[in-house]
Chains A and B, each alone.
Chain A
């Protein structure tokens, strides 16, 4: 059993609040995919889940507005000490964050109702729409708020929106990221000896064969070099070109099955770092769960 055990390496290449690129190696595709899946749909966030509409005279109907509210990303740092509606709830736990909104259009022009019009829950001011800025302190550099509905004179929207903890599996509004993707790292090796037999023009044409520009031609050394391995898209263009030149061995490209490049794009709901760490936690918790549920390994197995 222990023989299969490997310790994955994680090398971070780029880490920003809403973007992360890292290299995961020394593990299997199943591991990589599990991580992707968990990041996508099992990292809990907060989103509007129940809307009580008191007054709605806008052009959009109640369900439509409720649906739109659900899709507004809420900053979910509070999610870690929040309980879901179906969890066991103790004395100090909270499940609901109550946002409210009341806008009445009094101007003759079209008025936008945006995520900035939300009145936050005074008990949980840390839950607010992404890009939220209080109407009293509008600043120039503030992000454009999210439009909910447009109003004309005398239209009114008054509602209470209850935000809850949830996961992307239940509804896409709880998905914490814009996208998570991984790709197998390509391995490109050029047959130098064979390549040297080609003349300059052919080399240049060879490099331009694929739109991915993974290879480049160095005019100084007169060599074809692998510049951007990861830009390669497995489009098979280089191999095709090699075939056409009657040198099928000119280039060998294979997929690595234990090196993966991950790219995570956040939405501002959680920092990408937070998403990744939570995802690993969730994944470990799942594995621990599984471990506990499985019967202990039988002893006679080792005797064989």
Chain B
């Protein structure tokens, strides 16, 4: 069997599947597992029960769809109108009055956001043609929500693996109490409705253990000895042997110290007078009544049972299973303390699972529904207190009134998605409460896709000082891409799945049947099923088998491997059968219980090894596990393996380092070498020839490329979209390029790149582009900006879109001016006689209103109009005042109106319009480009075509010149190879496969790639090594060395000077200090700070220093008094009224008023000095604090 079919759908499948499960089954599970509330009628022995049933989610419909034939609300409508794509959630509220038959009340719980392409979405199962008709991408994959027009996704988080006991040593555990040590075992229990709880077993210094669990946000401890007694009626002896069997015994001998410890543990309860299960339960019940909110009528025993049921090992129902779980935890704890087993690494992927969107929503909804019931209960109790006569559980109007207090669940979910903030009274067993959602930016397709493949370690780890969590561990091989992680702060925390990695998003269809079938199969393969009476054989002769954290039996150690093997064959057969392939040879028949073994069952067989991980056979069928396909060595069948399973498998890697004698040791092999790479990483050609960090850089830069973000740009409302005008398909591409249809979203150009040091403008990662190539359209690009104008945003005003009428005093419109006062449009001939000057518009717009050449009578711009900076492009009129207000183009760039979309609302008049502006971004000096090998560079010159060197034989001039110094230290051999191989490909008219590790994968290219490409080149009359003799375009002389020249696929990155340049000569200043303000947006300057000042001081550049810090800053001339030395006392006396206008007739003295010093009361001591204005401010502030500043002024 080859690789499973791959397409883009596969990549977002964890998201979509998980949400589907949540909508279709998860909600039912949540509702059915939600504890009904009981309300006791005061003074009467009557109880009312309220619970939910039958949740239903409907597909999104339009709000005001009354007059419409098609009421369906489509994602496109939401994007363009800034709405949320949501469907109604209905629930039945069941109310039971005493023991009467329950009443059913259907209620709308709000509208919950719907994931695009999920089963509740209108786009589900639409073919590309139909998608296009719905104004979507032809390859729309969904997986995101639309919240107020924005596309947001719930990002996946790493969580601890459920139902697997972890042995940990953490110094923090010692702080839990006096006798606590650092050793503990930990188990994360998850119920089918995805609510979870983590419990721990702490080792104490006296050799006993304490069991820790949380209720709400508080943590509680119970001695393990007592808890062990609570589950079933069993003698201490039974528990003793069971517990002892979980502690490995070397050479059949039990360590006496361990026996003693266990004995001490079991003896503890009797010292407190607890001998039986009932006593222990009553004890616990009495202790926890208060915290658990136990109804008064419950006995302590019932309260104790409730505690066990609801808070301890919540993933298990049967007490015996819970006991086994506690024994397993305690046993592993003792084994850890006795150094019989090692500590588990909490950072290893083998102990992790993924938090899926559906899981998060399940948890959240469960919590909120419980809250709703709580609110109803409080309401009813309040009513009983105040107006008991009105409380009637048979009266539907009362019930409606009582339940009306329930909050809008949809709004809460919307808030969660909009902000990523989880608002809850519980922690929900999550390590963070913010940052759950992110916007799926459609900057380009790489960026977009990787949002769905990303998995974050958790916000908690981001602030951790240690780097251990960020380390790349071997456990993540094949699941997480080692290349695709960002640089900087999220490095190693934000990882990306490999292309083939999947997440099990839903449990098996009938989980109980499947679990039973798995037990049956295991029993058939040699398992001794566990029964309460059975005294289990001890480790390591026998190992336990557990399924999803439930002990199902034991098996003789020697047979455990065979059992695992049998399961693997079944898994492979099921996978083959599910995908319609013939069963692999030698697979067991799929009938009876065998037919029910799920293909994604994880079979982790950990054999015993002293000090190694705790032994056992661990079977997992629950969702949220990461799985990936590998091939079985013997049968060649495909099998899905999990992360814990992987560590004990020997998987052969086709890396060419096979040695003699290795044959028998492998049980599996990788499908191909690209299995370790993520989608984005696997698109780098020849990445196996590059130095590894370069491939990481490319993963980053690929995501910043200006490419083709979408094919439905007209129906998108992103605030900023980057698009390249003339993209090409790369000559050299990897196999995955085609698999993921990357040609639909191309993002670069094949440029003829010459590697030479020419002109000096290619130093230090600068690069030269051929001006003629740019003239012809190379790397031309556009930015699309959507301006959403919503008149409703101005609260309390009634406005309409309308043009502004011309006033009687209107002057003819002035020509627009640029940042430095230049006239726009620029680059016109100075001579008006020349026809190069654009004449007046030939087509005169009708209207006679203001800005008529740009704005139509309806207040919206003409499509295709050029808007210069600061010009108005739409206008709105306030209905009350009749005053018009225009929207003016911000920034310093010229925009073109691409499209005006008007959005209908409930309002009869037009209230909302999306104006799509287009800004030209053709390459200019300072723009950033990069090859696909982490080689970024800044455009330093657009060199004239004639001055570019040319190939003597063909006359070819390079499009781009890159400095040879870019190669030695960076070792991006892949780029050199790409150049050579694409040259051969271009000459032969063929695309070339640049997949990494081709040789190891046994690819089509036999032998040396350079050899084959060289032959092609030679046949075409070129040098086989890619060099050509070039002639300088300036002098006509030939270069003494051959120049390496060939096509390389270059990406244009979105970082452009137009967005970044910051210059000013003069501009706005701060009102208080008179110093230039900061901020590019406001026309501010770049701070000439302390360190810059230091540099100038060190150089002794006094004049420059003075210029920067004074003249070009807050230079001010002010009056100062020579005698008192103050700059605050001089005061300009206003001239007398009679003197006003005296200068006009030339009779009186100075223009300025008369300046006197108020302190000295004289004007003779006043002198004018130049000082920084901020000094005056300082002196004033000081004066306010009674500090006087005097200046010693001497005439120069």
Binding site for B on A (CB under 8 A): 29-30, 32-34, 36-37, 40-41, 49-50, 52-54, 56, 61-64, 67, 71, 85-86, 89, 95-96, 162, 164, 168-169, 171-173, 175, 179-184, 211-212, 231, 233-235, 255, 263, 265
Contacts and interface: CB of A to CB of B under 8 A. Distances in A.
A263 B955 CA distance: 8
B834 A86 contact: yes
B835 A175 contact: no
A71 B725 CA distance: 15
Nearest to B952: A183
B1042 to A, nearest CB: 7
Given A32-B1036, A41-B946, A67-B780, A85 B835 contact: yes
Nearest to A35: B1036
B772 A168 contact: yes
Given A64-B725, A211-B1024, A33 B1036 contact: yes
A233 B772 contact: no
B954 A179 contact: yes
Contacts of B833: 89
Interface in B271-307: none
A71 B777 contact: yes
A197 B1037 CA distance: 37
Nearest to B782: A61
B1038 A181 contact: no
A265 B954 CA distance: 10
Nearest to A64: B725
B1029 A233 contact: yes
Given A54-B843, A234-B1038, A265 B772 contact: no
B896 A61 contact: yes
Interface string B1035-1046: 111100010000
A183 B950 CA distance: 10
Nearest to B866: A62
A61 B725 CA distance: 10
10 contacts: A33-B1034, A33-B1036, A50-B838, A85-B835, A85-B836, A86-B834, A95-B835, A168-B772, A183-B1031, A211-B1022
Contacts of B776: 71, 172-173
Interface string B742-773: 00000000000000000000000000000111
A30 B945 contact: no
Contact of A172 (B829, B920, B945, B1019): B945
Given A29-B1035, A49-B836, 15 more contacts: A30-B1036, A52-B842, A54-B843, A61-B782, A64-B725, A85-B835, A168-B945, A169-B944, A171-B775, A172-B945, A181-B953, A182-B1036, A184-B1038, A231-B1021, A233-B1028
B864 A53 contact: yes
Contacts of B953: 181, 183, 233
Find the residue from A50, A53, A233 having the highest chain B CB count within 10 A.
Answer: A233
B956 A86 contact: no
Nearest to B1019: A211
* Interface majority SS (helix, strand, loop, mixed), chain A: mixed
Interface in B156-189: none
B339 interface: no
Contacts of A175: 772, 945
Nearest to B1022: A211
Find the residue from B772, B834, B946 having the highest chain A CB count within 10 A.
Answer: B946
A40 B954 CA distance: 14
Contacts of A67: 777, 780
A30 B1018 contact: no
A181 B836 contact: no
B836 A30 contact: no
Contacts of B831: 86
B951 interface: yes
A184 B1040 CA distance: 13
B343 interface: no
Contact of B956 (A52, A179, A235): A179
A180 B954 CA distance: 9
Interface string B838-853: 1000110000000000
Contact of B775 (A173, A212, A231): A173
Given A61-B782, A183-B952, A85 B1036 contact: no
A24 to B, nearest CB: 11
Interface of B: 725, 771-773, 775-777, 780, 782, 829, 831, 833-836, 838, 842-843, 864, 896, 898, 918, 920, 944-946, 950-956, 1018-1019, 1021-1024, 1027-1029, 1031, 1033-1038, 1042
A211 B316 CA distance: 77
Nearest to B1020: A211
Nearest to A60: B725
Contact of A61 (B772, B898, B945, B954): B898
B1029 A234 contact: yes
A184 B1035 CA distance: 13
A62 B684 CA distance: 35
A210 B953 CA distance: 15
A51 B1021 CA distance: 43
Nearest to A162: B835
A233 B1020 CA distance: 13
Contacts of B835: 85, 95-96, 162, 164
A91 to B, nearest CB: 13
Contact of A37 (B771, B775, B843, B946): B946
A175 B918 CA distance: 29
Nearest to B839: A52
A205 to B, nearest CB: 15
A116 B160 CA distance: 67
Find the residue from B1024, B1031, B1042 having the highest chain A CB count within 10 A.
Answer: B1031
Contacts of B777: 67, 71
Contact of A41 (B836, B945, B1027, B1038): B945
Given A67-B777, A71-B776, A85 B834 contact: yes
Nearest to A95: B835
B946 A63 contact: no
A179 B836 contact: no
A302 to B, nearest CB: 30
Contact of A181 (B834, B843, B955, B1027): B955
A233 B1031 contact: no
7 closest cross-chain pairs (CB), A and B: A33-B1036, A181-B955, A172-B775, A179-B955, A172-B772, A183-B952, A211-B1018
Contacts of A171: 775
Given A29-B1037, A61-B896, A63-B920, A265 B771 contact: no
Nearest to B843: A54
Nearest to B772: A172
A175 B955 CA distance: 14
Nearest to B957: A179
A184 B1039 CA distance: 12
Nearest to A263: B955
A96 B836 CA distance: 10
B829 A86 contact: yes
A41 B896 contact: no
Contacts of A36: 946, 1036
A54 B864 CA distance: 9
B910 to A, nearest CB: 22
Contacts of A173: 775-776
Nearest to B777: A67
Contacts of A96: 835
A33 B1021 contact: no
Nearest to B1014: A211
Given A62-B896, A211-B1021, A40 B946 contact: yes
A32 B773 CA distance: 24
Nearest to B770: A172
Contact of B836 (A56, A71, A86, A235): A86
A181 B952 contact: yes
Nearest to A40: B946
Nearest to A260: B1036
A212 B831 CA distance: 55
Nearest to A59: B714
B890 to A, nearest CB: 21
Nearest to B899: A61
